[in-house]
Amino acid sequence: MSLQTLVNQAFSEIGLGAVSQVVGNGDENVVKGLALANRAGIELRDATDAADYWPVIRKQFLFNLAGQGPFTGTFNYGSPTITGIVFTGAGAGLSAVQPGWQVSSQYVLPDTAIVSVNVGAGTALMNQNANTLNGSIFTTAVDTALAFGQEAYPLPSDLNYFIPSTDWDRNFRWQLLGPVNAQEWQVLKSGISPVGPRIRYRLMAGQIYLNPSPFIQTGNIAPVTDLIVMEYAGINWVAPVSTPTVASQQLFQADTDVCVAFPEDLITLSLKWRMLRAIGNSYAEEFEEYQRAMNRRTGRETVPRNLPLNARAGQLRLLNSQQVPDTGFGT
């Protein structure tokens, strides 16, 4: 059902009459109708637990950790420049290292990042000076092992919000820890604390920041390429007529646009009571009709689990205390 069709359906049912054009129409009621149709879709998208019963807006965010190494290089105490960098691993090498990537070496402090890289000269500038080795001052450290890893990754362009407890490192089969708050993040980045193997994350500036960075995670300087996964609710719910099944817009923009994330009759029913309210008429009956339809549709959009009252639920059972022996498990 296109925007024009659902607006005409709603208008006809409340006595306003059909229109030949919605987008670009200067009639006051049509302008209201377009704005309220978009408002109806936005509220359905952003409703509490919307990701639980609108499957179209549920998506997966998958990305691989990125790092380069191992390398060898020379550190000078009190200097932010690494010189004589030689790539000893396999891959793109120093040319792939980007500003902002973290540096892993026994001669750098935590949260030391790359400012710039000169591939031809084999040098890299850090945002902190090379520091002590185990508390002892050194002068020059030649052919020292080091690596670089990407700490921040861009978020999905259509992200509305992440679905809790869906964040996993699929290589290690560990759930991520987070999102951590500002205070916890600064303890990790600025304090003296054990790194540990589990990945923690924080959302900032349109990116997801990971700690520890990839190469530190394994306890050595070899970078890893773990696959990270998180589920999220997308922000788009409208599709153009050219791709009528792919939600790629946040609003109706043309008369031929269609709503693909929610049942279109909910937009129509929502538009009816909103229009009646906007023009100063009674809308209680239409609002109740919309609420009843909403309750029906949210219960049917996803397949609910059985909840038997007189027997155990016949669901997939994972390992529990009834299936694990007291001793010898895993041997």
Q: Which two tokens stand for residue 151?
A: 């700490």
Query: Residue 327: is its pLDDT beyond 90?
Result: no
pLDDT confidence bin for 219, thresholds 50/70/90: very low
Strands, E, within the chain: which ranges? Answer: 58-64, 67-76, 81-87, 102-104, 114-118, 123-126, 140-149, 152-154, 159-162, 168-169, 174-175, 200-204, 207-211, 227-234, 238-239, 258-259
Q: In what order do the strands lie in the sheet with 207-211?
A: 152-154, 207-211, 200-204
Using CA atoms, how far apart are residues 115 and 126, in angstroms rounded to an integer?
A: 5
| Cis peptide upstream of residue 179 (ω within 30 degrees of 0) | yes
| Structural contact between residues 78 and 130, judged by C-beta atoms closer than 8 angstroms | yes
Using CA atoms, how far apart are residues 5 and 256, in angstroms rounded to an integer?
A: 9
Of 148, 145, 171, 154, the closest CA to residue 91 belongs to 148
The terminus-to-terminus CA distance of the chain in angstroms comes to 59
Distant-in-sequence, close-in-space partners of 263: CB < 8 Å, separation ≥ 6: 297, 301
Of residues 281 and 193, more confidently modeled: 281
Rg (CA), the chain: 28
- What are the backbone angles phi and psi of residue 232, rounded to the nearest 5°? -145, 165
Using CA atoms, how far apart are residues 297 and 229, in angstroms rounded to an integer?
A: 29
Distant-in-sequence, close-in-space partners of 184: CB < 8 Å, separation ≥ 6: 200
pLDDT of residue 4: 97
Query: Residue 113: is its pLDDT beyond 70?
Result: yes
| pLDDT tens-digit series, residues 257-272 | 999 999 999 999 999 9
Strands 159-162 and 168-169: unpaired
Q: Which two tokens stand for residue 145?
A: 């092992």
Of 149, 154, 158, the closest CA to residue 214 belongs to 149
Using CA atoms, how far apart are residues 174 and 99, in angstroms rounded to an integer?
A: 29
pLDDT confidence bin for 280, thresholds 50/70/90: very high
pLDDT of residue 298: 85
**What's the pTM?**
0.83
DSSP string, 176-238: -B----HHHHHHHHHS-----SS-EEEEETTEEEEES-HHHHTTSS----PEEEEEEEES--E
Compute the mean pLDDT over every residue in the chain, rounded to the nearest whole number: 89
Query: Residue 70: is its pLDDT beyond 80?
Result: yes
Of residues 133 and 72, more confidently modeled: 72
Using CA atoms, how far apart are residues 128 and 143, in angstroms rounded to an integer?
A: 19
The DSSP secondary-structure symbol of 2 reads B
Calculate mean pLDDT across residues 285-308: 84
